[in-house]
Amino acid sequence: MKFVAALLLLVSVMVCARPTDKPGVYSTNAEKYDFIDTSLNIIQFPKGDAKFQPLFNKLDTLVFENRGQVKILHIGGSHLQADVISGRIREHFVKEYPGASAGRGFIFPYSAARTNTPSSYASKYQGIWDRSMNIMREVNKPLGLLGIAVSTSDPRAEITLLLNKYNTTPIWNESSIRLFGYSDSNNVVPVLKVDSIEIEGIHDTASHSYVFTPPHPIDTIQIAFRWTDTTYQSSMSQFVTDSLIQDSITRVQDSIQHIQDSLEALKNPKAKSSSSAKSSSSAAPVGVAKTDILLNNSEVALDSMFEGECDVLDTACLAMEERRSLEEGKLVADTLASDSNKVRVRPRFTLTGLLTETNAPGISYTNVGINGARVPSYFEEICPNFENELKFFKPDLVIFAIGINDANVEKFDADGFRKNYEQLIARIQKVSPNTALIFETNNDMYRKVKRRYVQHPVGETARKAFFQLAEKYGAGVWDKFSLMGGLGSMAQWEKANLAKKDKVHFNLNGYHLLGDLFFKAFTQAYQEHVAALPALEPVTPAADTTKPAAAPAKPATVPAKAATPAAAPAKK
């Protein structure tokens, strides 16, 4: 039975939460910033919210009856890879809705790709890996939903993801893990390590995935890779370790020689060190990660937003990062090759993502984002396995936050932008035709011209494109551009310590504020749906025929509809 009044109370509490409320508190108050127009913090429905009824009905079942799962996909670029705004929204859903978590959703060992791990979990790896990302000029691996892949032929390779690393109270306890990936020659398989036991997965050849069922729910996912020829794997592991030790010794010697040459040059500027040329020629390739020469080649996670990364719009830096990846790949090939094993091809495994789930009722919220991604970054030519992986998640709601990189150009093609979105939406609707869509308009931004930042006037044009898409698809719009203050407002957000100096990205405070605002807007839209639900007639118990009939009592008055909650801004 649906207890409408009870839910209205629950939703009202969530909307009006104070900084002292727990759990899922709102730590920032948008009202104190006069440049933020909080009256615009609503989900607008240009063509009505009929397409949202399947989503709202599933939420009704979850909230009122504690049954079923609701799956949300939030897709974008660097804002989403960092997973601060999406992580904030996820935290609200998981902590404030009955039923708790239905699983963490899609995750990835971003540290193995030498890029920042989402802020909501940690990742680390062992071994030498190369990467493919959907923002690279040349993508040499078929990518999936996440737009990223890592590949290794290192016999020592492992990845570890710690889902509750930053949670004071554990949130995630996963009962099923599906690993998407493949071996080039079917001679290496992933295994899940739990309690010092290696668990083999069930290989689903149709989806190129392996399904693992741990003996108990887990929050640490450790994957190793086992070659069919275990003897060859063991001997190669020892060979790589010995080679890296020798390589590290050589590098230290080169560094000492370089320091000695520098000191000699300071003493006698005219003197030329006889060994300087040798030192220069034997130095490591530019950009090679220092951690590649660690004895066990183990690397800690890159867990802070954008750590070790280029500015998402700095194309020169991104090109350097891509060049670095190629140089590291060459170093790997040189290190692993020898006269005795050049003929034999080492087993190689490519991983494109992991999906973690539970059987519990609740909400599963997945973020998808790559620094620098544009809408075409998720097209079939680059991510051919997009639908293949998405079908295991089948979102009930998709929040689109791609567009900041598409629009930050000298001449923005709004028509081309919409057509690109139509192509991406078609891919999603193949898998989940009834999914609800919310478009998140771009934030205000500046462009760097020479050495100064200038306003980019494209914000309003991009905003209109999002509303046109919403009209076509019966979608909702969260108008972040207008909400934050419109053109030029990013400078005010930076001044208020809510945005970074690049005037494109927000900082932790800003992302948390935006996450709070979005959750309030979504909750309000759902609250209006609940307010329109008719109250159910009370169930009359069956008459007891063993007792004499009593005089009929006056029936209680039943309202036609649930009580209306506090007034909220009307839908637009």
* Count of domains observed in the chain: 2
Are 347 and 409 in the same domain?
A: no
Question: Which single residue is written with the structure tokens 């062992």?
Answer: 126
Q: In which domain, by residue range, is 216 found?
A: 103-235+294-359
Report how many helices (DSSP H) and strands (DSSP E) the chain contains, helices first: 14, 21
Specify whether the CB–CB gap between 59 and 70 falls below 8 A: yes
Chain-centre distance for alpha carbon 515: 14
- The verdict on 220 and 145 lying in the same domain is yes
Same domain, yes or no: 339 and 379: no
Kindly state the DSSP code that residue 51 receives in the 8-state scheme.
G
Same domain, 182 and 84: no
Neighbours of 202 (CB within 10 A): 10
Q: Say what the pLDDT of residue 180 is.
A: 99
Same domain for 416 and 476, yes or no, is yes
| Interior/surface letters 215-250, b for 16+ CB within 10 angstroms, e for the rest | eeebbebbbbbbbeeeebbeebbebbeeebeebeee
CATH number of the domain encompassing residue 510: 3.40.50.1110
- Cross-strand partners of 69: 362
pLDDT of 537: 63
In a domain, 425, yes or no: yes
Strands 397-401 and 69-76: parallel
Task: Please report the pLDDT score of residue 241 as a whole number.
Answer: 73
Residue 310 domain flag:
yes
223, 111: one domain: yes
Task: Note whether residue 252 is domain-resident.
Answer: no
Burial profile 75-108: b = 16 or more Cβ within 10 angstroms, e = fewer = bbbbbbbbbbbbbbbbbbbbbbbebbbbbbbbbb
Helix, coil or strand: residue 311? coil
Q: Clarify whether residues 133 and 226 are in a common domain.
A: yes
Q: Report the CATH number that the domain containing residue 299 is assigned in CATH.
A: 2.60.120.1360
**Are residues 336 and 481 both part of a single domain?**
no
Domain-located, residue 7: no
* Local structure of 360: helix, strand or coil: coil
Judging by DSSP bridges, how do beta strands 176-183 and 209-212 pair with one another?
A: antiparallel
- What DSSP state is assigned to residue 552? P
Q: Is residue 326 part of a domain?
A: yes
Q: Percentage of the chain surpassing pLDDT 90?
A: 59
CA distances from 122 to 105, 107, 109 (A): 15, 10, 8
* E runs forming strands in 334-418: 349-357, 362-369, 397-401
Low-confidence ranges of the chain (pLDDT < 70): 1-28, 97-100, 242-249, 251-253, 260, 269-344, 536-572
CB 478 within 8 A of CB 438: yes
Please state, in angstroms and rounded to a whole number, the distance separating the CA atoms of residues 440 and 302: 27
> Do 71 and 133 belong to one domain?
no
Specify the pLDDT at position 248: 67
Q: Is 542 exposed, middle or buried (0-12, 13-18, 19+ CB in 10 A)?
A: exposed
> Helix 508-531 to helix 4-15 angle, to the nearest 10 degrees?
160
| pLDDT for res 239 | 75
pLDDT at 17: 41
Domain end marker among 359, 376, 400: 359
Does residue 491 sit in the same domain as residue 430?
Answer: yes
Q: Among 61, 59, 85, which residue's Cα sits nearest to residue 71? A: 59
Q: Residue 225 is encoded by which pair of tokens?
A: 């890779």
- Do 67 and 127 lie in one domain? The reply is no
Q: Are the C-beta atoms of 306 and 267 separated by less than 8 Å? A: no
pLDDT of residue 420: 98
Selection from 454, 469, 115 nearest residue 318 by Cα: 115
Domain boundary residue, one of 359, 377, 395: 359
In a domain, 54, yes or no: yes
Q: Are residues 377 and 456 in the same domain?
A: yes
Is residue 242 situated within a structural domain?
A: no
- Distance, CA of 376 to CA of 382 (rounded, Å): 8
Alpha-carbon gap, residue 447 to 243, rounded angstroms: 46
Please say whether the dihedral angle defined by the alpha carbons of residues 511, 76, 104 and 132, taken in this order, is positive or negative.
negative
Taking only the tens place, the pLDDT of each residue in 189-230 is 999 999 989 999 999 999 999 999 999 999 999 999 999 988
What type of residue is 112? Answer: A
CA distances from 390 to 147, 176, 255, 267, 435 (A): 12, 16, 48, 64, 12
Helix (H, G, I), strand (E, B) or coil at 513: helix
Is position 288 within any domain? no
Q: Quick one: pLDDT at residue 570? A: 43
Rg (CA), the chain: 27
Contact 81, 370 (CB under 8 A): yes
